[in-house]
Structure 1
Amino acid sequence: MTIATRLDCYLSDNHIDYETVKHNHSYSSLHSAVAANIQPVSLAKGIILEDHDGRHLMAVLPANANVNMPQLNQSLFASFHLVKEHDVYEMFEDCENGAVPPVGHVYHLPVVYDKALAELDFIYLEAGDHETLIKLSRDSFIKLMGPNSRCLHFSRHVFH
């Protein structure tokens, strides 16, 4: 497997320019960044959240950051929490477990992405397996996030 089927179709159908970057097998977004020799701040990861009514949201942020939940919830006037990992696997059936592409709307999820990513020249993201990244320009990344996504500041760096 390389690029997840849904993601591959979306990239092609929407004429989004990208490059693929192969790397040694990895087990996390941070490990993928190291394996691909890129800065962790340049690798976008997707976190699945759920509110008390069972509505889901994908938060996209740099690999070296965590979601600042109070800040995100305040910005969205909501009360989200992390979804259990095994529930995420069911939502992304065309991906290897733990290699979720941070492109929520392709999987019918609303998206919020961190402002830090929109300030980069190039953004990388998991392609759906543990050995392939997709490299996008800023414009292609914003296009990939979708027209209904929101750009907010909601992450806090774990390390630089």
Structure 2
Amino acid sequence: MTIANKVSDYLDKNHIEYQLLQHKPSKNSLSSAIQSHIKTSQVVKAIMLEDLQGTKLMAILPASHKISLHALNEHFNRQFHLMKESHIYELFEDCAHGAVPPLAQAYQIDRVYDEFLMDQEQLYLEAGDHISLIQLSQTEFRKLMQYSVPLRFSYRLFH
């Protein structure tokens, strides 16, 4: 498997310049960073959330950070919780299980991103499998996030 079809189509349709990097198989964004010898703060991960009404939200943050549900719930005045994995698999059927690309717009899902990502010159996104990363410049990442909500909702765990 390589880049997920919906992700590839979205990037191409929106004229986003990117490189596709291959790495040894990994289980999550943190191990993708380690396998690829990339700073964990430059690898972007997606966390799928859902509120009590079933409204979905993708939280986009660095692999080096942990999400603060309290901060998101307070900002949106909602009660978001982590989505069940089985529901995530249904939404991202063109992706390997556990390899959710942080491109909610390719799947028509609302999103919020952590402002910390704007401090990085290069960013690397999960591509939808466990062996590929999408490399983007900060300029291209900004284009992707132009209609997204920027917030501070995470805190650093790893360097």
Which runs of no fewer than 5 residues in structure 2 stay unpaired? Answer: none
Shift of 1:159: 2.1
Correspondence list, 1:26-45, <5 A:
26-45=26-45
Correspondence list, 1:61-100, <5 A:
61-100=61-100
Pair 1:5-2:5 in alignment: yes
> Structure 1 length normalisation: TM-score?
0.96
Partner of 1:140: 140
Which runs of no fewer than 5 residues in structure 1 stay unpaired? Answer: none
8 Å CA contact 1:44, 1:125 repeated in 2: yes
Structure 1 stretches of 4+ moved >4 Å: none
Matched residues in 2 for 1:59 and 1:20: separation? Answer: 23
Partner of 1:131: 131
Aligned residues: 159
8 Å CA contact 1:69, 1:154 repeated in 2: yes
Shift of 1:146: 4.7
Shift of 1:14: 0.8
The range that moved more, 72-81 or 16-25, is 72-81
CA 1:146–1:95: 2 relative to 1, 3 Å? farther
8 Å CA contact 1:21, 1:135 repeated in 2: yes
Matched residues in 1 for 2:118 and 2:78: separation? Answer: 23
Shift of 1:84: 1.3
Partner of 2:57: 57
8 Å CA contact 1:50, 1:80 repeated in 2: yes
8 Å CA contact 2:40, 2:158 repeated in 1: no
Aligned-residue sequence identity (percent) comes to 46
